[in-house]
């Protein structure tokens, strides 16, 4: 068993070029963190079969609930994404923290726009992305942060402290 914290991280945060537009993200803080934690990377949009680059996807509010749609293709990705999130999160029973990409309709922790229709210009609400929603529901006690919050030294220290505390507790429980 590893004595480093286990952190699930959005793969586009410096681990692979998997963003919808093929853009790379470099983040020195996350690079440096790699020496202190064990990262498990995940890209929910690639996992449900989307490619790079890909047409953008967004969240639309319907009477039956939130939908994850790709307006250019007309694809409804909701069921695939929910199914992947459940399967993936059930497969990572030991995790000490999450580090997610902000503003993504999949990974965004908060402030992801919700639209009334797939071709609307203006949003009507803001929510976490689909993967982030599943994380918050499945791991309500686990510290979660996005890369923008990580830039804030106070939020970063708070998150890191919580992550290391959880890892230490996990190790102690394992040795009992």
Binding site for ligand SF4 (CB under 6 A): 10-12, 18-19, 43-45, 101, 104, 106-107
Q: Give the nearest distance from C-beta 43 to ligand SF4 in angstroms.
A: 3
Q: Give the nearest distance from C-beta 63 to ligand SF4 in angstroms.
A: 26
Cα separation, 50 vs 22, whole angstroms: 12
Residue number, 21 or 173, with CB nearest to ligand SF4: 21
Cα separation, 132 vs 126, whole angstroms: 13
Residue number, 51 or 117, with CB nearest to ligand SF4: 51
What are the phi and psi torsion angles at 140 (to 5°)?
A: -65, -25
Chain residue at closest Cβ approach to ligand SF4: 12
Contacts of 57 (CB under 8 A, 6+ apart): 20, 45, 50, 68, 69, 70, 77, 105, 106
Report the Cα 118 to chain-centroid distance in Å. Answer: 22
Residue number, 31 or 157, with CB nearest to ligand SF4: 31
Q: Give the nearest distance from C-beta 36 to ligand SF4 in angstroms.
A: 21
Alpha helices by DSSP H, 58-152: 78-91, 130-138, 147-150
- Residue 99 and residue 147 in contact, taking contact as beta carbons nearer than 8 Å: yes
Residue number, 21 or 63, with CB nearest to ligand SF4: 21
Residue number, 81 or 170, with CB nearest to ligand SF4: 81
Q: Give the nearest distance from C-beta 131 to ligand SF4 in angstroms.
A: 7
Residue number, 113 or 164, with CB nearest to ligand SF4: 113
Q: Give the nearest distance from C-beta 122 to ligand SF4 in angstroms.
A: 22
- Residue 151 and residue 29 in contact, taking contact as beta carbons nearer than 8 Å: yes
Read off the DSSP letter of residue 39.
Answer: E
Q: Give the nearest distance from C-beta 126 to ligand SF4 in angstroms.
A: 16
């Amino acid at each position: 068993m590893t004595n480093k914290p286990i952190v699930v991280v959005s793969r586009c945060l410096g681990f692979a070029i998997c963003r919808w537009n093929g853009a790379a993200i470099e983040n020195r803080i996350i690079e440096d963190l790699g020496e202190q934690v064990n990262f498990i990377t995940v890209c929910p949009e690639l996992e449900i079969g989307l490619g790079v680059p890909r047409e953008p996807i967004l969240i639309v509010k319907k009477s039956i609930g939130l939908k994850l749609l790709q307006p250019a293709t007309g694809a409804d990705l909701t069921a695939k994404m929910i199914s992947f999130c459940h399967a993936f999160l059930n497969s990572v029973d030991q995790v000490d923290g999450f580090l997610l990409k902000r503003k993504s309709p999949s990974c965004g922790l908060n402030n992801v726009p919700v639209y009334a229709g797939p071709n609307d210009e203006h949003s009507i609400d803001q929510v976490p992305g689909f993967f982030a929603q599943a994380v918050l529901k499945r791991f309500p006690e686990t510290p979660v942060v996005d890369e923008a919050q990580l830039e804030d030294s106070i939020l970063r220290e708070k998150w890191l402290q919580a992550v290391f505390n959880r890892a230490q507790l996990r190790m102690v429980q394992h040795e009992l």
